[in-house]
Amino acid sequence: MDSKQRLNERIEGFRKQKLSLDMTRGKPGPDQLDICNGMLTIVDENNYRTPSGLDVRNYGGLDGFPEAKRLFADFLEVSPEEVIIGGNASLNLMYDSVAQCMTHGTSGGGKPWFGQKTKFLCPVPGYDRHFAVCEHFGIQMIPVALTDNGPDMDEVEDLAGREEAIKGMWCVPKYSNPSGVVYSGETVERLASMNTAAADFRILWDNAYTVHHLGGGPAPLKNILEACKKAGNPDRVLIFGSTSKVSFPGAGIALIAGSTENMDWLRSRLFAQTIGPDKINMLRHVLYFKDMQGILKHMDEHARIIGPKFRAVQEILQRELGGKDVATWTQPRGGYFVSLDTRPGRAAAVVSLAGELGVKFTKAGATWPYGKDPRDSNIRIAPTLPSLEQIRTAVEVLAVCIQLVSSGGAA
């Protein structure tokens, strides 16, 4: 490690630069948004009907029109009958699904979760918005360790198998937020087949990064719905996805998929909720991408843009922290984040010091339920929005702050 004096000198050098860099959220950069601009004009006054003839300007298609359902069924590896297309945010579909379970119970006649001291299993580190949904509904969250193969299944099976109050579990199975972990086939099979004390146990399978590789194509992931069907638990999983980081984050397509019984359960409530999704936006996506190969080709372009940014993160961290026993970090093959762990008790101080220097990171602890990392060690790095040069500067600031805090703080 550099001497404390040298570290303080570097800190003062950063302070004089009056930096203003934001690494807090996983937003696509402007150059990523630009590659989708053709979608903005692909629907016009001469091209507003689906291939099957539906006028997308009018009512109809409560759960999506056929061509869109076929495209996004391929996207989620389900059948068209097993997918419902929503608005622009998968988080809204997740929130709504939990709300339906809370007020009306699950498909198959499960009782409403309200009044049952409902609990969820939450692999950590995880996604703060998932935790916010649980907190909003008063659902108690139980952290479970996330390993290189997914959640610690011995822990999951033990907890879910003996406590009926545990009704659900959050999962980001491919390129997990923030670690980048991809669930192994064994993990998927155990999730699908495990015994649960609650008959109405549900897995909320947020496959947000299913095609978001950093080069070399998407990693394989075992099909959770097929595994659940094979295990005799077809209704156990609700699968979510979106094009928020495929096309435009503010104007993407949100998706939910599952067994036909689960989808019928959701459709029965759509009439009371909505007149239907934005079919004009849906048509934009169908005409622009055409098929799954079109989506995969488009994602290769995203990888070309953000791959160098992720490589820069690894390069700076290794150069500054390698072999110094002050931090460990993930090397994801896809997704939008790098997860870094400091020594226990240092993450909040590191994030605070970096913030004073003009580099903002997600609040330490945000990757744990209730915003409380018991080890105070995890920091989420989001490299996609800033330029390559800004990322190099931001990660260098982070690394120097880690070293200084680990050495006992500023002189």
Which of 290, 324, 340 terminates a domain? The answer is: 290
Are residues 356 and 319 part of one domain?
Answer: yes
Three state DSSP letters for 281-310: HHHHHHHHHCCHHHHHHHHHHHHHHHHHHH
Which of 261, 290, 319 terminates a domain? The answer is: 290
Are residues 306 and 270 part of one domain?
Answer: no
CATH of the domain at 95: 3.40.640.10
Looking at residue 339, the DSSP 8-state letter turns out to be E
- As a residue count, the chain comes to 411
Find the domain containing 62 and state its range: 48-290
Are residues 74 and 178 part of one domain?
Answer: yes
Q: Is residue 82 in a domain?
A: yes
**What would the mean pLDDT of 43-56 be, rounded to a whole number?**
92
61 vs 138: CA distance, rounded Å: 34
Please tell me whether the overall predicted TM-score, pTM, comes out greater than 0.85 for this model. yes
pLDDT in tens, 89-106: 999 999 999 999 999 999
Q: Is residue 349 in a domain?
A: yes
Strand 254-257 and strand 237-242: pairing? antiparallel
> Is the dihedral angle over the CA atoms 352, 179, 210, 334 positive or is it negative?
positive
- More confidently predicted of 329 and 1: 329
> Is the dihedral angle over the CA atoms 110, 112, 118, 122 positive or is it negative?
positive
Q: What is the pLDDT of residue 81?
A: 97
pLDDT in tens, 272-325: 888 889 999 999 999 999 999 999 999 999 999 999 999 999 999 999 999 999
Q: Is residue 35 in a domain?
A: no
Are residues 390 and 274 part of one domain?
Answer: no
pLDDT in tens, 355-411: 999 999 999 999 999 999 999 999 999 999 999 999 999 999 999 999 999 998 754
CATH of the domain at 383: 3.90.1150.10
Are residues 256 and 228 part of one domain?
Answer: yes
Are residues 305 and 272 part of one domain?
Answer: no
Which of 290, 311, 326 terminates a domain? The answer is: 290
